[in-house]
Amino acid sequence: MKQDIRKLALTELMAYVIEVGDKAFRGKQIWQWLWEKSAHSFEEMSNLSLALRVQLTKDFEFRPITIHTHQKSNDGTIKLAFSLYDQELIEGVLIPADDRMTACVSSQVGCSLTCKFCATGYMDRKRNLDPAEIYDQVVAIDQQAQAHFKTPLTNIVFMGMGEPLLNYKNVIQGIERITAPDGLNISPKRITVSTAGIAKMINKLADDRVKFNLALSLHAANDTKRNQIMPINETNTLEVLKEALIYFYQKTKNQITFEYIVFNNFNDSLEDAQELWQFSKNIPVKINIIEYNPIAEANYQNTEEDKLERFATFLRSKKLIVNVRRSRGKDIDAACGQLANKL
């Protein structure tokens, strides 16, 4: 099998073109085609000689993602199933709104964390995505935004399939290509990485001084309840997570968001809101209260509207920033927690 051209660093590309008898700056031109212009073939690289393009074709290949299926929700949300070079499938979502155009991207094929309320958690984790596959999702979803809404992407959230911090190196490299001036040049402040709570890797994010935003899928500020719905909490308890989040904020001063799905008669009482408030005292945070989107594999239900309102009102009375996120794309299984390759 030929080598994937996009696995090479710029220095490796420059060394390669010298080795085949061309000038080093050609490596920079190839790099520009790969990461600024998002080329998926050597034929597109029109400022390279025919001889160099033929040589590249002999030595390398592209492994681009391709759109397998395309669904559009009644509310404008677009879900894309992407086929990978090894025939695995992942999903990404375009979420249009009046003030933003958001791409929700995946980081793994499947997931290993088995969160009880999430459809992806009932899938096996097949493999990690590589940086180019992460980058390609953003390019493809941006093309959908431009085609359907005449507007480019404004935001990117790593809230699709998989746990980003269990694919740390590739996610960081993918974000580097998305944010780099010689890449897509999207501001890291427009990117949010969501984690179920891998404390060791949150500490690593802090040490690496990342510029993007961090979101914690919290869903309960009580270890007993969180253990029931998120087995990862058994080894990454709330106390351990609290220390990691404090460390992250001290090192980066980056915004942290708590994501909190309100399940009926499980985590939607005023006592639950009080526990969330106490946990939120540790660092400056904003809280996204998220409607639950039922899945066939689980028996959880979304809370009732009056309880949701009471929950949010209590938190706001404690001077917390609270947003209630309404479901988007539920009719095409594109909403939060529903991605499971249902094509």
* Residue among 91, 163, 259, 291 flagged as catalytic: 91
pLDDT, tens digit, for every residue of 315-325? 999 999 999 98
Q: What is the pLDDT, as a whole number, of residue 343?
A: 47
Q: What is the pLDDT, as a whole number, of residue 172?
A: 98
- Give the C-alpha separation, 178 to 253, whole Å: 22
pLDDT, tens digit, for every residue of 111-156? 999 898 888 888 889 999 999 999 999 999 999 999 999 999 999 9
Average pLDDT, integer, range 284-288: 96
* Residue among 104, 111, 118, 336 flagged as catalytic: 336
pLDDT, tens digit, for every residue of 86-98? 999 999 999 999 8
Q: How confident is the model at residue 333 (pLDDT cuts 50, 70, 90)?
A: low
Q: What is the pLDDT, as a whole number, of residue 328?
A: 65
The enclosing H or E element of 59 equals: helix 50-59
DSSP assignment of 118-148 equals -SGGGSPP-EEPPHHHHHHHHHHHHHHHHHH
DSSP 222: S
Per-residue b or e along 187-220, where b marks 16 or more CB atoms closer than 10 Å to that residue's CB: ebebbbbbbbbbbebbbbbbeeebebbbbbbbbb
pLDDT, tens digit, for every residue of 60-91? 999 999 999 999 988 899 999 999 999 999 99
Q: How confident is the model at residue 326 (pLDDT cuts 50, 70, 90)?
A: confident
Answer whether 60's CB lies under 8 Å from 1's CB.
no
Q: What is the pLDDT, as a whole number, of residue 123?
A: 87
Q: What is the pLDDT, as a whole number, of residue 201?
A: 98
Rounded to 10 degrees, the C-alpha dihedral 238/239/245/251 comes to -170
Answer whether 202's CB lies under 8 Å from 248's CB.
yes
Model pTM score: 0.93
- For the ranges 8-12, 122-126, 136-140, 228-232, the lowest mean pLDDT is seen at 122-126
* 335 pLDDT above the threshold of 90: no
Q: Is 88 a catalytic residue?
A: no
Q: Is 91 a catalytic residue?
A: yes
Average pLDDT over all residues of the chain = 93
Q: What is the pLDDT, as a whole number, of residue 331?
A: 63
Q: How confident is the model at residue 329 (pLDDT cuts 50, 70, 90)?
A: low
Sort 253 into a burial class: Cβ within 10 Å, 0-12 / 13-18 / 19+. Answer: exposed
Average pLDDT, integer, range 305-324: 96
Q: How far apart are the first and last CA of the chain?
A: 30
Block residue for tokens 């190196």:
169
Q: Spell out the domains of the chain, with CATH numbers in brackets.
A: 3-61 (1.10.150.530), 66-332 (3.20.20.70)
